[in-house]
C-alpha cells in the first residue's frame, strides 16, 4: 500500500476554484485507532470554499473536505468495531480524495436505507443539533425562526425542531416552501417577498444560517431574553444588549452531537436531502463554485468520487 498513489484534490495556495488541483498523492496509511476509507462521496460545505479563499486559515498544502461516506479498506492498530468492507460515514479531513483516513471515534455505520451521497451530508445535521440543543437549549413549545432553512444546515434544523415539538418558522425562497412544510415547518416565510421581520410574530430563538445583514436584523424578532444562535457571524454585542436579547456562537462540534445525529438517523427521525451531485473528483471546482454562488435549492451539495 505504501508505494501506491491515489487521485486527490490539493490546494497549495489560497484563491479561486483554480486552486483545486487534481494530483496523485501517496495513499494514506491508517495509524492507531484510524481507518482507511475508499471515499464514495464527499459533502461539499460552504467552509470548503471559505478555507480555499483564505477567509479562514488552514495550513498549506492540504486536501479539502471535512466529511464523507465510503467503504473501509484498511484498519489501524487497536481498531475494533469496524472491519474491511464496512460502509461508513462521518468527519473526514481531506475527503476530496479517492481514499482518506479518519479516526474511528468520528466514524459511524451507514444505515442501509440511505445512499452514500446522503450519508456524506451529515455535518450540517451535527451543526444544527449543537446549535439547537447544546447552545439554545430548544424545548417543546418554544417558537424558533430558522434562517436559511432550505440549506445544508437549515433543513436538518427544521426536522429536529419539529421532532422536539417546537413551533417552527422557516425562511426560504418560495419554491422551497412545500419542501420545508413537508419537513415539519409550521410557517414558511418567503424572504424575497417582503422583509422577514414584517411577516412573523416574536420568537424565543433564532438560528441564523445566513449571516450578513440577516444576523443583526434577526435581533428584532426575538422576544425579551430571547436567544440568537449565529453560525456565520456574530451580531454586534451592543445591538444585542440594546435589544434585550442574548447572542451566542453556535458552531460547536462534539462527539456527543455526532452520536445524537446518528441515533436520529437510525430512527429515521431525520432524513438528509441532496441538492445536487457533482462527479467525478475532477468536478470539485464546479461543486465549490456552485456552493459559493449560493442560489436556491433543497439540502446539500455532494461530490461523488467512486461508484458504489
Ligand X SMILES: NC(=O)c1ccc[n+]([C@@H]2O[C@H](COP(=O)([O-])OP(=O)(O)OC[C@H]3O[C@@H](n4cnc5c(N)ncnc54)[C@H](OP(=O)(O)O)[C@@H]3O)[C@@H](O)[C@H]2O)c1
Q: Under the rule (CB under 6 A), what is the footprint of ligand X?
A: 45-47, 124, 127, 147-148, 150-154, 171-173, 176, 191, 209-211, 214, 231-232, 251, 291, 294, 296-297
Q: Nearest approach, Cβ of 127 to ligand X (angstroms)?
A: 4
Q: Nearest approach, Cβ of 24 to ligand X (angstroms)?
A: 30
* CB closest to ligand X, residue no: 151
- For ligand X, the closer of residues 232 and 287 by Cβ is 232
Q: Nearest approach, Cβ of 301 to ligand X (angstroms)?
A: 7
- For ligand X, the closer of residues 129 and 167 by Cβ is 129
Please say whether the beta carbons of 300 and 43 come within 8 A.
Answer: yes
- For ligand X, the closer of residues 75 and 257 by Cβ is 257
Beta-bridged to residue 34, according to DSSP, are 103
Q: Nearest approach, Cβ of 61 to ligand X (angstroms)?
A: 22
Q: Nearest approach, Cβ of 63 to ligand X (angstroms)?
A: 19
Picking from 87, 227, 107, 207, the residue whose alpha carbon sits closest to that of residue 159 is: 207
- For ligand X, the closer of residues 143 and 155 by Cβ is 155
- For ligand X, the closer of residues 68 and 297 by Cβ is 297
Please say whether the beta carbons of 82 and 33 come within 8 A.
Answer: no
- Distance (Å, whole) CA 235 – CA 32: 42
Residue 63: all three cell numbers together: 486536501
DSSP H helical ranges for the chain? 46-53, 116-119, 123-129, 154-164, 177-183, 213-218, 237-243, 255-266, 284-293
Amino acid at each position: 500500500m505504501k508505494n501506491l498513489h491515489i487521485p486527490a484534490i490539493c490546494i497549495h495556495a489560497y484563491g479561486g476554484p483554480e486552486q483545486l488541483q487534481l494530483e496523485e498523492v501517496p495513499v494514506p496509511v491508517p495509524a492507531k485507532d484510524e481507518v482507511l476509507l475508499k471515499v464514495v462521496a464527499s459533502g461539499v460545505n460552504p467552509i470548503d470554499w471559505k478555507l480555499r479563499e483564505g477567509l479562514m486559515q488552514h495550513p498549506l498544502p492540504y486536501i479539502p473536505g471535512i466529511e464523507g461516506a465510503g467503504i473501509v479498506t484498511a484498519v489501524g492498530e487497536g481498531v475494533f468495531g469496524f472491519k474491511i468492507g464496512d460502509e461508513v460515514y462521518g468527519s473526514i479531513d481531506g475527503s476530496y480524495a479517492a481514499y482518506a483516513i479518519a479516526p474511528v471515534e468520528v466514524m459511524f455505520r451507514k444505515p442501509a436505507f440511505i445512499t452514500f451521497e446522503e450519508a456524506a451530508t451529515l455535518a450540517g445535521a451535527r451543526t444544527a443539533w449543537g446549535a439547537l440543543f447544546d447552545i439554545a437549549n430548544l424545548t417543546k413549545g418554544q417558537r424558533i425562526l430558522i434562517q436559511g432553512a432550505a440549506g445544508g444546515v437549515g433543513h436538518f434544523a427544521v426536522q429536529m425542531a419539529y421532532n422536539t415539538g417546537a413551533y417552527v418558522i422557516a425562511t426560504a425562497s418560495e419554491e422551497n416552501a412545500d419542501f420545508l412544510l413537508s419537513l415539519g415547518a409550521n410557517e414558511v416565510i418567503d424572504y424575497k417577498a417582503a422583509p422577514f421581520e414584517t411577516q412573523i410574530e416574536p420568537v424565543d430563538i433564532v438560528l441564523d444560517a445566513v449571516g450578513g445583514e440577516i444576523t443583526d436584523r434577526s435581533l428584532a424578532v426575538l422576544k425579551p431574553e430571547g436567544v440568537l444562535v449565529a453560525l456565520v457571524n456574530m451580531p454586534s454585542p451592543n445591538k444585542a444588549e440594546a435589544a434585550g436579547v442574548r447572542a451566542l456562537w453556535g458552531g460547536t462540534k462534539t462527539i456527543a452531537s455526532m452520536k445524537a445525529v446518528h441515533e436520529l438517523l437510525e430512527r429515521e427521525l431525520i432524513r438528509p436531502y441532496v441538492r445536487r451531485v457533482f462527479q467525478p473528483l475532477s468536478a470539485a471546482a464546479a461543486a465549490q463554485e456552485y456552493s459559493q454562488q449560493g442560489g436556491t435549492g433543497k439540502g446539500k451539495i455532494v461530490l461523488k468520487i467512486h461508484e458504489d
